[in-house]
Amino acid sequence: MQQTPLYIVASPHPRVGKTLLARLLLEFFHSEKRQLLGYDLNPHEPTFAGYFPRWVFTVDIADTRGQMELFDRLIADKPVSTVIDLGYGAFEQFFSVLGEIGFANEARRRGVETVVLFVSDRAPATVRAYGALRRRLANVAFVPVHNESVSVSFDKDDFPLSRPELRTISIPRLSPIVRGVVDRPSFSFATYLVKPASGPTEIHDWVATIFNAFRDLELRLMMGRLTSALGGVSLGPPPLPGRTPRG
């Protein structure tokens, strides 16, 4: 069965670029003309939902009713490309419930692959949280994300990949003036990317780099599924986006 991705953008700390990453991912899906859906799990400050009121639902998982509403929705209908912006306040509760109900296995059975995009920072508590989640949720794909605006350095040993075919995603630093532009509620990454310009701009290059990283991630996830289906026979790394493999 073909698997549709469910991306959970997460970090135990605020202000590390989770919502920015969720926005980019949802607009990437839109640019690819996919069916898409988003959930904002920060009901008191639903920034993600504010950017996409037609595509993103706000859900409060503070009680059992909210938890059931969310997890039932994620697997009840025909799978669509889905992005969850997990507010740091709901971090522990969300992953505890996800593990307790065996969500990832049931989701996979219904054609949904659970992928956590874990936004890193240099705090020791973040490193510990990443390791603890990987141990608790061994059947979930974890992809570390290095946001250069949060920390210049990134130690791969602190955030090891959960699968050999995966790679860390890097979000390059933007200049403060440009960051102010992309943070506007009316700004669209996908629209700007195809907007005619006299030449490449900082935003064009930045968005194109990140969208290519998303394409590469999805190719690697697909190759991992094929390898697993073939009983562990490696098919080799997928070609980089935009390049044709030599015969």
Q: State how far the Cα of 17 lies from the Cα of 244, in Å rounded to an integer.
A: 33
Average pLDDT, the chain: 88
246 CB-contact burial (10 Å; exposed 0-12 / middle 13-18 / buried 19+): exposed
Antiparallel, parallel or unpaired: β 141-147 and 4-10: unpaired
All residue ranges of the chain with pLDDT < 70 are 1, 196-200, 232-247
Q: State how far the Cα of 162 lies from the Cα of 8, in Å rounded to an integer.
A: 15
* pLDDT, tens digit, 9 for 90 and up, residues 204-244: 899 999 999 999 999 999 988 887 777 754 444 444 444 44
Q: State how far the Cα of 150 lies from the Cα of 163, in Å rounded to an integer.
A: 25
| pLDDT value at residue 76 | 78
Q: Are the CB atoms for 241 and 215 separated by under 8 Å?
A: yes
The identity of residue 233, as a single letter, is V
| pLDDT value at residue 196 | 65
Please work out, in degrees rounded to the nearest 5, the angle formed at the alpha carbon of residue 118 by the alpha carbons of 210 and 64: 125
**Among 81, 28, 21, which residue's Cα sits nearest to residue 190?**
28
| pLDDT value at residue 129 | 96
* pLDDT, tens digit, 9 for 90 and up, residues 15-41: 999 999 999 999 999 999 999 999 999
Q: Which CATH superfamily is domain 4-229 in?
A: P-loop containing nucleotide triphosphate hydrolases (3.40.50.300)
Helices (H), 10-63: 18-31, 47-51
Collapsing DSSP to helix, strand or coil, 55 comes out as coil
H or E segment at 133?
Answer: helix 124-136
Place of tokens 């290519």: 212
| pLDDT value at residue 244 | 40
- Cα first-last separation, the chain: 29
Q: State how far the Cα of 213 lies from the Cα of 118, in Å rounded to an integer.
A: 15
Give the C-alpha distances (Å, rounded to integers) separating 162 from 8, 130, 222: 15, 11, 15
With a pLDDT cut of 90, the percent of the chain lying above it is: 71
Q: What count of residues does the chain have? A: 247
